[in-house]
């Protein structure tokens, strides 16, 4: 007999154990932290025993909790693999599923997909946005566009494009930015979703590589996605550190400008990753050829804003 199990609570509990906390588990599941906490409490009440030792910064499983978490990960993992295989069998052979970061999808990929649709009317593109926190498995997508150092063992990997870093702002702010010290009078817009440690393309990295010194204790506004950072800059809410592929269109149409000439190459790049068995897939290769051509055709940076250094 199979018990009528509380699957949502089991999944939430496994995520808490894996992340050692409620907040990252909530981010993964796309629900509130209180909802995850309630799921775990419901599971504990259903089983009649504590499963977690809760801490201010970290929660760890009890012995019984660790046993249950391993069983959940194993069971749900197998179910996920089978479901992915079934979906693969029923998915149209003319649909290409692309997994990529929301900011890249919104700012670079979406505006160019019309070109692909016009050139390949027999193919359909489906976009699955992914935060990039978890390794690309290829179970739910044909191609992954990843942002990182290019280290994806066991996968076919091609460089899509590199990126340069430079400050960007709305045209209305450019005249008040004549030197880097003027940043002290503005709000720095920061993408808090960069999770690459010392390789993250931060304001400090740009300044250091450019031989500059950032103002001490600048005002900052942290936003959860790169497309939000760019939109805030377009609306004049502050100055953002532009990552070239994500801001090139806004620079070319004048919604953003470069107030400073200093730029540096980002330590991270954009990569095309996929399972080795897709190597001979015609639809995958058609998309790869198209997106590489689009990257190669990306326009040059427009001139600096008037009165810039």
- By CB neighbour count within 10 A (0-12 exposed, 13-18 middle, 19+ buried), where does 261 fall? exposed
For residue range 118-151, list pLDDT tens digits in order.
999 989 999 888 766 667 777 778 999 999 898 8
Per residue in 274-305, pLDDT tens? Answer: 999 988 899 999 999 999 999 999 999 999 87
Rg (CA), the chain: 23
**225 contacts 149 by C-beta, under 8 angstroms:** no
Most confident range (mean pLDDT) of 74-88, 90-104, 178-192 is 178-192
> CA–CA distance from 89 to each of 85, 99, 201, 204 (Å)?
6, 19, 40, 48
- Contact criterion met (CB below 8 Å) for 92 and 124: yes
pTM to 2 decimal places: 0.69
DSSP string, 134-149: S---SSS-SEEEEEES
- Look at the alpha carbons of 266, 272, 274, 277 in this order and tell me if their dihedral is positive or negative: negative
Does position 249 have pLDDT exceeding 90, yes or no?
Answer: yes
Same domain, 76 and 116: no
Asked whether the predicted pLDDT for residue 54 surpasses 50, the reply is: yes
Phi/psi at 50 (nearest 5 deg)? -75, 140
Which of 42, 61, 89 finishes a domain? 89
Domain shared by 278 and 153, yes or no: yes
Question: What's the domain count of the chain?
Answer: 3
Q: What is the mean pLDDT of residues 150-160?
A: 92
Nearest to 13 by CA among 192, 172, 185, 47: 47
Torsion of CA 87, 88, 91, 95, to 10 degrees: 130
Higher-confidence position of 213 and 193: 213
Q: Does 150 lie in the same domain as 185?
A: no
CA–CA gap between residue 272 and residue 158 (Å, rounded): 5
The reply to whether 149 and 277 lie within a common domain is yes
Identify the CATH number of the domain in which residue 120 sits: 3.40.190.10
- Decide if 145 contacts 99 (C-beta within 8 A): yes
pLDDT band for position 86 (cuts 50, 70, 90): low
Q: Note whether residue 189 is domain-resident.
A: yes
The first and second tokens of residue 150, run together, are 């290019």
Residue 120: both structure tokens together: 């390949």
Q: Does 153 share its domain with 275?
A: yes
Q: What gap in Å lies between CA 226 and CA 192, rounded to an integer?
A: 8
Range of the domain at 132: 92-157+271-296
Q: Are 124 and 96 in contact (CB under 8 A)?
A: yes
CATH number at residue 70: 1.10.10.10
> Are residues 109 and 19 part of one domain?
no
Is the domain of 199 the same as that of 247? Answer: yes
């Amino acid at each position: 007999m199979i018990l009528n199990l509380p699957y949502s609570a089991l999944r939430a509990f496994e995520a808490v154990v894996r992340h050692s906390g409620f907040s990252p588990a909530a981010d993964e599941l796309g629900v509130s932290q209180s909802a995850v906490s309630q799921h775990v409490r419901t599971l504990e009440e259903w089983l009649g025993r504590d499963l977690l030792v809760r801490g201010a910064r970290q929660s760890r499983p009890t012995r019984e909790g660790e046993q249950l978490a391993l069983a959940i990960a194993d069971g749900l993992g197998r179910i996920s693999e089978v479901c992915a295989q079934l979906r693969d069998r029923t998915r149209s052979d003319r649909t290409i599923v692309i997994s990529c970061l929301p900011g890249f999808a919104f700012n670079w990929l979406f505006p160019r997909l019309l070109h692909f649709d016009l050139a390949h009317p027999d193919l359909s593109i489906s976009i699955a946005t992914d935060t990039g926190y978890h390794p690309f498995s290829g179970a739910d997508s044909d191609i992954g566009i990843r942002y990182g150092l290019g280290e994806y063992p066991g996968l076919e990997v091609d460089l899509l494009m590199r990126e340069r870093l430079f400050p960007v702002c709305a045209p209305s702010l450019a005249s008040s930015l004549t030197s880097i010290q003027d940043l002290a009078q503005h709000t720095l817009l920061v993408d808090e979703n960069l999770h690459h440690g010392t390789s993250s393309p931060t304001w400090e990295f740009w300044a250091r590589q450019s031989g500059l010194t950032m103002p001490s204790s600048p005002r900052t506004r942290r936003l959860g996605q790169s497309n939000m950072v760019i939109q805030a800059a377009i609306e004049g809410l502050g100055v953002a550190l532009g990552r070239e592929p994500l801001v090139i269109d806004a620079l070319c149409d004048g919604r953003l400008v470069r107030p400073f000439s200093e730029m540096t190459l980002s330590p991270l790049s954009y990569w095309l990753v996929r399972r080795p068995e897709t190597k001979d897939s015609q639809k995958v290769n058609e998309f790869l050829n198209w997106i590489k051509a689009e990257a190669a055709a990306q326009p040059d940076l427009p001139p600096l804003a008037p009165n810039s250094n």
